[in-house]
Structure 1
Amino acid sequence: MIPFSEFDTRGYETVDVAAGYGAWAQTYERTVEDLMDIDLLERLTGPEWASVRRAADLGCGTGRTGEWLHGKGAQRIDGVDLTPEMLEIAKQKGAHESLGVADATESGLESGAYDLVISSLIDEHLPDVGPLYEEAARLARPGGWMVIVTYHPQFMITAGMPTHYTDGEGRSYAIQTHVHLVSDHVRAGVAAGWRLAEMHEGIIDDRWLQLKPKWEKFKNIPLSAVYAWQR
């Protein structure tokens, strides 16, 4: 693992995941753009979302991913997250059959029950991605899928920007951030018994620059990635 501290250009005070997202919950969806994750999910040719009978949404947060999945026809979605404040917002969306406080790597959900296990923008908070892939393998039925959206290590290293939020008084805080290389994901997925079926990288393009003009210096650098794995 490469320590993110070697690249950090912000030097914000760092808080743990539960505290950080608890404080960020009410403004989270104002700062996370669909280009970062939903746009990548839309590119995948598999799985067939409407054929998903049960999905496990690990690190479901405010329910953005679950709401998107529900809109695509997924029938039952169970979500877990570390942060009660985020889950309260997800509950209001009504896309999940069940929601519970749990670590994404120890979800407590039923083994072998899910057509799809999905997580979005949570891996940077894990010291090691291996346990996440292992938990997804435990949850998935034979032939099931794991889809994971991640921050791209190239952007994290080049920009040195941790996951962070700004509180009501204008103070910025970083949430514990780790860099995971593409090879870290591939090794972890293969070790857990997954087969990589598809991958896409989302670059900082003109759409991003309309939202973030100061990111011109990062143009054409990959910001996020999606991996689709199958058992």
Structure 2
Amino acid sequence: MAQFADFDSRGYPMVDVRTGYGQWVGSYERTVEDLMDLAVLARLAVPDWASVARAADLGCGTGRTGVWLRAQGVQAVDGVDLTPEMLALAGAKGAHDRLVEADLAATGLPDGGYGLVVSSLVDEHLADLTPFYREAYRLAAPGGLCVLVGLHPQFIMAAGMPTHFTTDGGEDVAIDTHLHLVSDHLTAALAEGWQLAEMREGVVGDEWIALKPKWSRFRGIPVSAAYVFRKV
């Protein structure tokens, strides 16, 4: 099994998810680019966002994804996150009907209550994908979708870069990062009963290089991936 440690070229000190995002919260939205996740979600053809009565936003963070979902016509969104500081920002945005502080593998949300389960920029923090896909399957209504968008494993391997932030004191700190191949996602999801409906990849191109000129050496490499699974 591929391990992120085999590709880590930064060697930053690493902290757990709750600690890291609690410290990153103040600058998070100035750091994360919409090209990484929201632009890839916008390219998906299978989800009919406006037909979704209620979505579960797992790893909702500061509420970026919830705001985007509501803008696409999703009628109601419940959010779950492990970090209270992130949930406070999400609450201030007002896009979520309900916010829950919980682990993604045990959300406490109702069985079969959601036409859409979505997760953005979370999977690299999961040591094992199976609990996520199992919980998402429990939450989804029959015929519902699970949409996951995250860092592409090829980019993680090429860049050797963990998810990281810069502290107020100027120190670069990494957040617990795991490497999951595309086949790892498919194997875990299919084993829980999901059916693959669509997959999209976002590559480093002119838009990315305009934002991050140093990424020119990654031109053509996929930086993020979106998976759409259907509950059948």
Normalization by structure 1: what TM-score? 0.99
Paired amino acid for 1:169: G
Q: Does the residue aligned with 1:26 lie in a helix, a strand or coil?
A: coil
Paired amino acid for 1:123: D
2:83 counterpart residue number:
83
> Which runs of structure 2 are paired with 1:1-231 in the superposition (5 Å)?
1-231=1-231
Q: Could you tell me the percent identity over the aligned residues?
A: 60
Offset of 1:193 from its aligned partner? 0.6
Q: Deviations over 1:44-98 (max 9, x none)?
A: 1122111110100000000000000011111111001000000111011100000
Task: Give the Cα–Cα distance (whole angstroms) in 2 for the partners of residues 144 and 224 of structure 1.
Answer: 23
Task: Give the Cα–Cα distance (whole angstroms) in 2 for the partners of residues 219 and 45 of structure 1.
Answer: 25
Offset of 1:106 from its aligned partner? 1.1
Q: Deviations over 1:131-155 (max 9, x none)?
A: 1111100000100000000110000
Q: Does the residue aligned with 2:26 lie in a helix, a strand or coil?
A: helix
Which runs of 5 or more residues in structure 2 are unaligned?
A: none
Q: Does the residue aligned with 1:88 lie in a helix, a strand or coil?
A: helix
Offset of 1:130 from its aligned partner? 1.0
Q: Deviations over 1:169-219 (max 9, x none)?
A: 110100000000000000011101111111000000010000000111111
Paired amino acid for 2:130: G
Offset of 1:104 from its aligned partner? 1.1
Aligned residues: 231
Moved over 3 A (4+): none
Q: Does the residue aligned with 1:11 lie in a helix, a strand or coil?
A: coil
Which runs of 5 or more residues in structure 1 are unaligned?
A: none
Cα-Cα RMSD: 0.6
Q: Does the residue aligned with 1:150 lie in a helix, a strand or coil?
A: strand
Paired amino acid for 2:26: Q
Paired amino acid for 1:119: S
Q: Deviations over 1:107-134 (max 9, x none)?
A: 1100111000000010000001111111
Paired amino acid for 1:106: A
